[in-house]
Chain A
């Protein structure tokens, strides 16, 4: 009895909090058939916003994947002083408000008063109010996602296989590509997808650093807000639908891949 009660409660909770609101985004998007979606893909500014979001998310994901896998190896396979502090610091981007991240980046890279900003500006490198700043902010907020997926898997597989590979003559690099990476590949894929989804949707930090200039530094989530504030509800929902679809597709792909790999290995 208690089991059914709990199940009903969980389903109701998820329905009211997630499924219903998200489904409303879908119904609003298609209130007038495909008109709203069509409008997005014919509007140059909105297309440029989507493109900018895709570029920033892609670069941030590449950076965080390379960085995340390296840091995970560092945390699991080596011992050094300050390791636990580093591990704790890595969760900071998840716990701190994205707005704070944006403001912090402006403090460091701001073109007028930032620590590095004026020097970089003198070299012709624009960070704040430019694509680079958007990439930085996006990387910051999605930094721990790959690490959080990879670290437990690395711990679980242990280093026996790596030692065996080295005893058979493989150097560090060969051991990584041939043994370590294949054994953590699903964790990496999952981390990459989560990072991509999170990066595409980043709003707060990007809002502070981007300058939000339509057609130049306005990302898709910022365009959603803009449309919403300008009483273009249909446009806002349509763009939101596009963003949400990408995330849902990503997670669906991973679920299918994981299911398959699970079958092969067990």
Chain B
């Protein structure tokens, strides 16, 4: 195990940020800490890094007890949401920073910086200042800077949170490929379940200072431990007193035994799919079902249509 967190508690005044957290993060994996804002995931990451200290509990990194170590002695790479670029230093000097602190020979630093800038596709920007880069480029620079010190673990705090949707999507695919190349144990914090499902090998769901579930994306999506995890990882709807995914509701336009009758209030097209809001007698909130566009067309569903629903 690369990171072992045991019995960690943290309060800010009266607010309980983390409560009795036990967590093992295996070597070489890409792990996501996923949860709503204010749930404690960033605090946990900062405690692992040593940027915040826990009220109680221990943090062991690569077999070494790091609980009392200050951040500069932990050899962790940390990437901040807002890049934390050194504004007065060129891109190359930003990346070289950790190596200069470690007093490595000049030639070695230059070689390493060139390599890393190639890795993050910023080779031709070496001489620029961070203010001359786009947000996505700055974050790649920050990643190269963190990787330069050959960290035992790489920690990313909402790394793509400040970027627009398109760049965010590109960067997370790129992060996944990068991780497959460098294999450093990586933990990233996100509140975006799609990001976690797409990028991570394993996901830790954190809510209100507690861990709700740990597992692979498939585990979490298909076998959620509780309603919170299920609803956080994707859309849900309550059908006959059960929480199910809208995809898992079958829609027909004629009565079949074992179905529930309702009428369509609204159709919303989302890409290739159509979401139906169906009101059913005896249920306060409308039930959400999702069908493909082709299905909706062939069934001839429109607002006011009578439909029969069945959970798969």
Which residues on A are within 8 Å of B, measured CB to CB?
Answer: 160-161, 163-171, 174, 178-179, 182-183, 264-266
Which of the 9-residue segments B8-16, B28-36, B68-76, B241-249 touches chain A?
Answer: B68-76
Q: How far is the CA of A69 from the CA of B98 in the complex (A)?
A: 25
Say whether, besides A169-B149, A183-B87, A164 and B80 are in contact (CB < 8 Å).
Answer: yes
- Select A166's contact among B71, B82, B86, B148, beta carbons within 8 Å: B71
Within 8 A of A (CB), among B25-76: 49, 51, 70-73, 75-76
| Interface contact A167-B87, CB-CB below 8 Å | no
Q: Told that A160-B84, A163-B78 touch, could you supply 10 new A-B pairs with CB distance under 8 A? A: A161-B84, A163-B71, A165-B97, A167-B146, A168-B97, A168-B98, A168-B101, A168-B145, A170-B72, A265-B131
| Interface contact A166-B70, CB-CB below 8 Å | yes
Q: Which residue of B lies closest to A172 (CB)?
A: B72
Q: How far is the CA of A182 from the CA of B97 in the complex (A)?
A: 14
Q: Which residue of B lies closest to A174 (CB)?
A: B101
Residues in A whose Cβ lies below 8 Å from that of B84: 160-161, 163-164
Residues in B whose Cβ lies below 8 Å from that of A165: 86, 97
Residue of B77, B87, B145, B148 with highest tally of chain A CB at under 10 A: B87
Residues in A whose Cβ lies below 8 Å from that of B142: 164
Q: How far is the CA of A169 from the CA of B69 in the complex (A)?
A: 12
Closest Cβ of chain A: how far from B85's Cβ, in Å? 8
Cβ-based interface call for B102 (8 A): yes
- The size bracket of the interface on B is 20 to 34
Cβ-based interface call for B111 (8 A): no
Cβ-based interface call for B166 (8 A): no
9 cross-chain CB contacts under 8 A: A163-B84, A164-B86, A166-B70, A167-B49, A168-B72, A168-B149, A169-B72, A170-B101, A264-B129
Q: Which residue of B lies closest to A265 (CB)?
A: B131
Q: How far is the CA of A182 from the CA of B87 in the complex (A)?
A: 9
Residues in B whose Cβ lies below 8 Å from that of A264: 129
- Select B51's contact among A163, A174, A179, A265, beta carbons within 8 Å: A163
Residues in B whose Cβ lies below 8 Å from that of A170: 72, 97, 101
Is chain A's binding surface mostly helix, strand, loop or mixed? helix
| Interface contact B88-A169, CB-CB below 8 Å | no
Which residues on B are within 8 Å of A, measured CB to CB?
Answer: 49, 51, 70-73, 75-78, 80, 82, 84-88, 97-98, 101-102, 129, 131, 142, 145-146, 148-149
Residues in A whose Cβ lies below 8 Å from that of B146: 167-168
| Interface contact A166-B87, CB-CB below 8 Å | no
Say whether, besides A161-B84, A265-B87, A167 and B71 are in contact (CB < 8 Å).
Answer: yes
Closest Cβ of chain A: how far from B12's Cβ, in Å? 13
Q: How far is the CA of A171 from the CA of B98 in the complex (A)?
A: 11
| Interface contact A160-B82, CB-CB below 8 Å | yes
| Interface contact A183-B88, CB-CB below 8 Å | yes
Q: How far is the CA of A163 from the CA of B142 in the complex (A)?
A: 13
Closest Cβ of chain B: how far from A163's Cβ, in Å? 6
- Select A164's contact among B70, B73, B78, B129, beta carbons within 8 Å: B78
Q: How far is the CA of A30 from the CA of B77 in the complex (A)?
A: 65
Residues in A whose Cβ lies below 8 Å from that of B78: 163-164, 167
Residues in A whose Cβ lies below 8 Å from that of B148: 168
Closest Cβ of chain A: how far from B44's Cβ, in Å? 16
Say whether, besides A161-B86, A183-B87, A166 and B131 are in contact (CB < 8 Å).
Answer: no
Q: How far is the CA of A183 from the CA of B84 in the complex (A)?
A: 12
Residues in B whose Cβ lies below 8 Å from that of A182: 88
Residues in A whose Cβ lies below 8 Å from that of B71: 163, 166-167
Q: How far is the CA of A66 from the CA of B105 in the complex (A)?
A: 33
Say whether, besides A161-B84, A161-B87, A164-B80, A169 and B75 are in contact (CB < 8 Å).
Answer: yes
